[in-house]
Chains A and B, each alone.
Chain A
Amino acid sequence: MALFTVALALAPVVCIAQTGEVAVSAPGREPPPVTPRVLLEFEPPTEIKARDLPNDDGTSILITWRRSPSMPEDVRYTVYFSDGAAGPYKPLPFDFRPIGLDESIMADNLQYFRYRRAYRDYQFIIIDLTAFDAVAAGTHERQAKYDWGQLYFKLGVTTDSAVRLFDPVLHAEPVTQWFDWSKFNNLLMATVFMVVILFFIETARRRKFYIRRIAGLDAVDEAIGRATEMGRPIFYLCGLDPMTTVSTIAATNLLGHVAKHVANYESQIKVPCFDPIVMSVCQETVREAYYEAGRPDAYNSDNVFFITNDQFSYVAAVNGMMVRERPAANFFFGFYYAESLLLGEVGQSTGAIQIAGTDSNVQIPFFITSCDYVLIGEELYAASAYISREPKLLGSVKASDMAKAVIIVVLLLGLVFSVALLIAALNDGGNALGWLGEKMEYFMQLFNEHI
């Protein structure tokens, strides 16, 4: 009874459909007097099946079918559900976007299917069963929770005014998986990369690695020396991202080296922070750097401070400090957003030497226009190794270069395969290379994000 109440409350118009192929009105519309001919004039899709969604936590099922070639373009696929095989079948009680004729083809989703050109004729819909619970919970009637084991589905096609449901009735039990095989390529790449890094770290202990000159980093010492001579502080900013991003980790890593130089020169470094966690990490980093430099007495934790977690008030405060304290050098490392130009321009107007480093593509141009030196993208990650020459960091830079070399080889292979496939496809747009072409396509699909 409660379930029935929930369904009534959520579906504006619930239209009862018998098992078999029938037409029902879409929710929110008056039932049409007759089923539109557009829904009856084409062959239904075939091989309609439901099964557990692979590689998930047991909360979703997958409905697949072979699309009908005769379907008109203004018709879209949809799914109806029932809490019993006999029906009645109702629209899903949550937002569900019907899918078009060419959407979500299997060939693009290797996490669910093996790659075959023939799979391009198949389509699928994933039903997230937790959405049923969320709907039930939203009614404040927890007892109305749906029994996933009793949910049945029917695939249908819809226009704006009507729905046609197809046989068979679909049912599948979701199964929890311990291992997500779709991420296996990530695991493999990460493992190989780790082994390569360890190898190069070990090698770096025995012999020196060459690292090309990075112009901005040569200026770090110069900037610190200038600050010491002028008796003015150095401002070091770690960006606006939290401690979980690579650029912030790189910025705090670099902070250690800069702070060590500052301690040696007996200069002063100020680190205004945007994130309280980053502030804590920065305090630890700077303190450790002062200890390593043998100047623990010179460390002042008040110089690494939190301002605010709001973007533009943070900028207003830092800009105000820049103008009042007139730092001799500003370091902007980490990830930045719209504030990059505001910081860079004010810093430049105070006459400070400025070095920036970020992997935020959109903000790099602003730093280029307002700073003396800019580390572009990955140069920020390599900066620590360049400054410290520590085997650990040098090894990881060398390993990342090896990874880039492998990527270039993969790209070149992809180019060769692409040229072959494009030439073969010149006549009919298909794959004239047969199984060999399919293997070439499969090779490229291996690097698809979805796998």
Chain B
Amino acid sequence: MATFIGTWIAAGLTLMILSFLYRDNPFFRFAEHLYVGVSNAYIVWLVWATIVLPDFIGRVFINLDPAKPWSPDYWFLVPGVLGLIMLTRMVPAIEWMSRWALAFVVGWGAGFVIGPVLNSYLLAQLYASFPWVNMQPYLGAPASEYIPALINAVILFVCVVTVLVYFFFSYEHKGVIGGAAKIGIWVLMVAFGASFGSTVMARVSLFIGRARFLVQDAEPTGHAFSALLTLGLLIAIITAIIARRRQPPAGESEPAE
């Protein structure tokens, strides 16, 4: 029974969020505020239970597992104190102290990414662009496999070089550089188009999943009501979208304040 009620609450909140398709309304506002509040509460608990308790309190002050031998590890005081310093932002007189923690986070972040970025964004992609590397599996293969793979490797190489040229900022895109940059932006657009298509398919799949939740999980005893609910939901969504489209643009509906 509890599961049934929970499912219906979830279904109701889903519909409240979907009502935003028409316009802002009290139901959406209620669901929005509830969603933000619940997610914040959950994250506070998550941080406490998975970070603060085991990695700070559990390592410095208290043995959380009496079955295991334990000794305090005072190194964990350093991040703990830095974290506490962040809270000084709430006291204007000592607010400046929080900058130490921020400086540490930003400095560490900027420094730390140098290695991984060089490795994965530069070296790995550079290496993978060499035609010889791409052709390794096709060495000795019949011409029907070898030639398409070779064409593929050459196209990949040309795309990488032209896209790199597009991202030259200190040269005007004219002449040879301009031509290469134009090919580069076309390559980018083709890539974005492919990415857009595949992601839209994934989103449709997500919507189908949510619709299935609404019409099947919410009604466990049969599908007669579910089918009607599906139909009603689809009509409501389409009507909302049409109504929304017919509204005048936001800038024209209200005079500027």
Residues of A within 8 A of B (CB): 137, 140, 142, 183, 185-186, 189-190, 209-212, 214, 229-232, 242-246, 249, 276-277, 280-281, 283-284, 307-310, 312-314, 316-317, 319-320, 323-324, 326, 338, 341, 349-351, 361-362, 364-366, 368-369, 376-379, 382, 385-386, 397-398, 400-401, 404-405, 407-408, 410-412, 414-415, 417-419, 421-422, 425, 428-429, 440-441, 444-445, 447-449, 451
Contact = CB atoms under 8 A, between A and B. Distances in A.
Interface in B6-20: 17, 20
B171 to A, nearest CB: 7
A212 B249 contact: no
B132 A212 contact: no
A441 B132 contact: yes
Contact of B172 (A210, A317, A414): A210
B171 A310 contact: no
A440 B120 CA distance: 22
A415 B156 CA distance: 11
Interface in B107-139: 108-110, 112-115, 117-120, 122-124, 126-127, 129-133, 135, 139
Contacts of B193: 365
A284 B157 CA distance: 44
Chain B interface extent, by class = 35 or more
A415 B126 CA distance: 11
B186 interface: no
Contact of B109 (A209, A249, A411): A249
Interface of B: 17, 20, 23-24, 28-29, 31-32, 35-36, 38-40, 42-43, 67-69, 86, 89, 98-99, 102, 105-106, 108-110, 112-115, 117-120, 122-124, 126-127, 129-133, 135, 139-140, 150, 153, 157, 160-161, 164-165, 167-173, 188, 191-193, 195-196, 199, 203, 244, 249-252, 254, 256-257
B123 A447 contact: yes
B169 A244 contact: no
B98 A417 contact: no
A401 B122 contact: no
A350 B123 CA distance: 43
B77 to A, nearest CB: 20
28 contacts: A186-B123, A190-B114, A231-B256, A245-B109, A246-B117, A283-B89, A284-B102, A307-B36, A308-B36, A308-B40, A312-B35, A313-B39, A316-B31, A316-B36, A349-B250, A366-B196, A369-B196, A401-B168, A414-B129, A414-B132, A418-B132, A419-B131, A425-B139, A428-B140, A444-B132, A447-B130, A449-B123, A449-B124
A365 B150 CA distance: 29
A398 B170 contact: yes
Given A365-B199, A422-B135, A449 B127 contact: yes
Contacts of B169: 211-212, 214, 378-379, 382, 385-386, 397, 400-401
A229, A324, A444, most chain B CB atoms within 10 A: A444
B167 A448 contact: no
Given A231-B257, A310-B36, 13 more contacts: A230-B257, A242-B109, A249-B106, A320-B28, A351-B252, A361-B192, A362-B195, A379-B169, A404-B167, A411-B129, A411-B161, A418-B131, A418-B135
Nearest to B173: A212
A350 B157 CA distance: 42
Given A243-B109, A316-B17, A317-B32, A448 B39 contact: no
B172 A366 contact: no
Nearest to B154: A415
Contact of B119 (A186, A229, A309, A421): A186
Given A320-B29, A407-B164, A425-B139, A449 B106 contact: no
Contacts of A310: 35-36, 39-40, 42-43
A411 B126 contact: yes
Contacts of A307: 36
B163 to A, nearest CB: 9
Contacts of A398: 170
Contact of B39 (A308, A351, A415, A429): A308
A260 B39 CA distance: 33
A364 to B, nearest CB: 6
A386 B169 CA distance: 9
A377 B43 contact: no
B114 A408 contact: no
A227 to B, nearest CB: 11
B123 to A, nearest CB: 5
A319 B20 contact: yes
A41 B195 CA distance: 50
B89 A280 contact: yes
Contacts of B130: 411, 414-415, 417-418, 444, 447
Q: Which of A185, A249, A313, A326 has the most CB of B within 10 A?
A: A313
Contacts of A319: 20
A183 B118 CA distance: 10
